[in-house]
Amino acid sequence: MKEKIFLCVNKTKETAIILSNMVMRSLKSAGYTVINDSKSADIVIGFGGDGTLLSWLIRNNYDTNYKYIGVHCGTVGFLQDFDVFDVKNFVDRIPDYVEEKLNLAEIVITLDNKVYSYNALNEFVIKRCDDKALRACVKIENVLLENYVGTGLIFSTPTGSTARNLSSGGSIVCPGIQSIQMNPIEPNRFLGALESSIIIPKEFTITIFSNTNDEVKVLADGEEVYTEKFDKICVSLSEKYLVKLVDKNTNFFERVSKKLI
């Protein structure tokens, strides 16, 4: 029996609406079941830009109990892999697409012995609520890295390295390198803050302590998830991952060249 498929469509994009209707008809002709309840789907096909998948994950609390196929209907983006020109060929090849695992990042915030945890596919951003300089002690595996002073810190996955991290001067990280990249936003180098990003292996945990006891805001994939003081913040690469289906001939470096150069 063929998989049950849910279509996640960016309704603000006419091309996404038209293409999704064409794909839906082709899926049904090929024997797939197109459903309206995503919770029972085997595959979710997203039509839009990168925000289509991110919005979907946020609305569904980062549920990863399905496989995702991204159809590109936006501008520059790395999460929507397929440019569909031949609908029947796209549908016929679904069984041949290969799995790519995208690890989520996890942030754990402790305040007065209460623990708050969140996931992100692309990145977390930490800033002060009043937008003044963030002052924080940053440790990696309990070893002091720096006493950071600057606008904020970005913590990105390899998937998110081409998103806000890149636009803030961070490095592109190849898929499959399991790591977290910490990228400073407008660091104050005169007070000893690192000016460049640092890529940290999955096995290590980054721990942040407040030097000023100020309220911070934490954004997960652009959504504000926490606004409060904190005692400790830990950031790491999660064991939780999203399975994305891609063409086996997809080449990351070709995509970088095509989309960014």
Say if residues 100 and 246 touch (Cβ distance below 8 Å).
yes
**Whole-number Å distance between alpha carbons of 113 and 111:** 5
180-216 pLDDT, tens digit per residue, is 999 999 999 888 899 999 999 999 999 999 989 899 9
Q: Is the pLDDT of residue 113 over 70?
A: yes
**The tokens 């999660």 sit on which residue?**
238
How much helix, strand and coil, in percent to the nearest 5, is found in the chain?
A: 20, 45, 35
Give pLDDT, residue 75. 66
Q: Is the pLDDT of residue 259 over 80?
A: no
What is the average per-residue pLDDT within 52-73?
Answer: 90
In percent, the amount of the chain with pLDDT more than 90 equals 77
pTM of the model: 0.93
- Tell me which residue of 109, 130, 119, 60 sits closest to 210, measured CA to CA: 109
Show the 3-state SS of 174-191.
Answer: CCCCCEEEEEEEEECHHH
Q: Decide: residue 3, CB within 10 A, 0-12 exposed, 13-18 middle, 19+ buried.
A: middle
Say if residues 145 and 192 touch (Cβ distance below 8 Å).
no
Q: Which domains does the chain have, with CATH numbers?
A: 4-96 (3.40.50.10330), 104-238 (2.60.200.30)
Give pLDDT, residue 213. 86
Helix (H), strand (E) counts: the chain: 5, 15
Give pLDDT, residue 6. 96
Give pLDDT, residue 252. 85
Instruction: Give me the catalytic one of 50, 112, 131, 247.
Output: 50
Q: Is the pLDDT of residue 253 over 70?
A: yes
**Whole-number Å distance between alpha carbons of 215 and 86:** 51
- 131 is known as an active-site residue: no
Q: Write down the mean pLDDT value for the chain.
A: 93
